[in-house]
């Protein structure tokens, strides 16, 4: 689980990222990121009903995403608010594939070294 200061929770913060953020997309994940004025990054996750109608499946995907992102927290070099958006193909992916795709997207968006 992500520590509380690293969570993006407020609707206004999500809206700010969607309106002002830049995008990096992959085969089953996309990242939108916008700079913030804090001393750390904050991360939010969006898993829509297009992924699955079952809440248990969507929550499983979010838990995997949080755990994968937790490993990248020490590598962030800038202060951003970011939202991870999922595509329906993520439901069938293994944790290793999710972590690999996430690392590639973070590097492409220049959020980690």
Q: Per residue of the chain (113 residues), what is the pLDDT tens digit?
A: 888 999 999 999 999 999 999 999 999 999 999 999 998 899 999 999 999 999 999 999 999 999 999 999 989 878 899 999 999 999 999 999 999 999 999 999 888 87
* Angle of helix 95-108 versus helix 55-70 axis, rounded to 10: 60
Residue 17 has what pLDDT? 96
Q: Which residues contact 11 (CB under 8 A, 6 or more apart)?
A: none
- Domains along the chain? 4-108 (3.30.230.10)
What is the phi/psi pair of residue 47, to 5°? -125, 105
DSSP assignment letter at 51:
T
Instruction: Kindly provide the residue ranges of all beta strands, DSSP E only, lying in the chain, ordered along the sequence.
Output: 22-25, 29-35, 42-46, 80-86
The Cα–Cα gap between 83 and 76 comes to 15
CB atoms within 10 A of CB 36: 18
């Amino acid at each position: 689980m992500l520590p509380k200061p690293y969570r993006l929770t407020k609707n206004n913060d999500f809206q700010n990222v969607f309106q002002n953020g830049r995008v990096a997309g992959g085969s089953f994940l996309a990242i939108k990121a916008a700079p913030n004025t804090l001393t750390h990054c904050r991360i939010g996750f969006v898993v829509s009903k297009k992924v699955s109608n079952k809440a248990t499946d969507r929550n499983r995907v979010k838990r995997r995403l949080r755990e994968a992102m937790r490993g990248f927290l020490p590598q962030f070099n800038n202060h951003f608010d970011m939202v991870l958006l999922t595509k329906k193909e993520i439901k069938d992916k293994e944790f290793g594939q999710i972590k690999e795709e996430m690392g590639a997207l973070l590097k492409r968006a220049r959020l980690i070294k």
